Structure 1
Amino acid sequence: MQTLWQVGLLIVIWWLADRAVNAVHLPLSGGVVGLFVLVALLLSGKMRPASVERGANWLLANMLLFFIPLVVSVVQFTQLLKDQGLSLLLDIGLGFICVLLA
């Protein structure tokens, strides 16, 4: 039950950040702003790491499930992959490395 509560808390933080981004038309995603908000709350001591640790670990452990629909939809774009596959692969690889380094 605690894991469910923590996942819900993380979703609420993301949702509020997403609404704020849409309200002020920032050129950032709600997820990025939500991450900054969460880091600020953790660094300021207003939120303890233990209050989101189990939920974050559950989300990370099941992250692959969130990408399955994306991978399945790629099958619909075979012509795009034939035409621009190398460019897409480089872009995705560069994005992956940036996220990994961050």
Structure 2
Amino acid sequence: MKIIYQIGIIFSLCWVSQIVEALLPIDFPASVIGMILLFALLVFRGLKVEHIREKSDFLLANMAFFFVPAGVSIINYFDVLKSSVVQLLLICLFTTVLTFAATAGSIRLTLKLMNRRKGGQENG
């Protein structure tokens, strides 16, 4: 019964985000609206992590499965994309390196701030 409750919460958020998307005067993806709603509910304690932990762990563990339809779609349109294959590969390479650099920078900054905080607490 707990899993059904958790699925209900997640689907309700998806449904509300679809409604919000339809009401907005600009195009904005419902999936992003749903993530923002979920984040806001978690931050402002409207929803506890325990309410969705098991189902979200399941979805994260099986995330690769949800990319299969997108991969199949890319293969179906390969004849359209093949004229731009070099540009697409360069963009993928560049953004991958950029993502790695941003992640490394974020980790370094976080570690630096954590060490500074630790040092301040020991001296204080």
Deviation string for 1:43-77 (max 9, x for gaps)? 11121111011111111111111111221222222
1:31 is aligned to 31
Is 35-44 or 81-90 further displaced after alignment? 81-90
List gaps (5 residues or longer) in structure 1: none
CA distance in 1, matches of 2:95, 2:26: 24
User: Are 1:21 and 1:28, in contact at CA under 8 Å, matched by a contact in 2?
Assistant: yes
Structure 1 CA distance, aligned partners of 2:93 and 2:32?
Answer: 18
Matches within 5 A, 1:62-73: 62-73=62-73
What residue ranges of structure 2 are gaps of 5+ in the alignment? 104-124
Q: C-alpha distance in 2, partners of 1:13/1:6?
A: 11
TM-score by length of 1: 0.77
Secondary structure class of the residue paired with 1:27: coil
Q: CA deviation at 1:18?
A: 1.7
In the alignment, the residues of structure 1 paired with residue 87 and residue 8 of structure 2 have an alpha-carbon distance, to the nearest angstrom, of 37
Matched with 1:42 is: 42
State the partner residue of 2:56. 56
2:19 is matched with which residue?
Answer: 19
Larger Rg over CA atoms? 2
Moved more, 40-49 or 86-95: 86-95
Supply the AA of the counterpart residue of 2:72: V
Rounded Cα–Cα distance in structure 1 between residues aligned with 2:84 and 2:64: 25
TM (norm. structure 2) is: 0.65
Larger RCO (CA within 8 A; separation ≥ 6): 1
Q: How many residues align?
A: 99
Deviation, 1:91, is 5.4
Secondary structure of the residue aligned to 2:6 is helix
Percent identity of equivalent pairs: 24
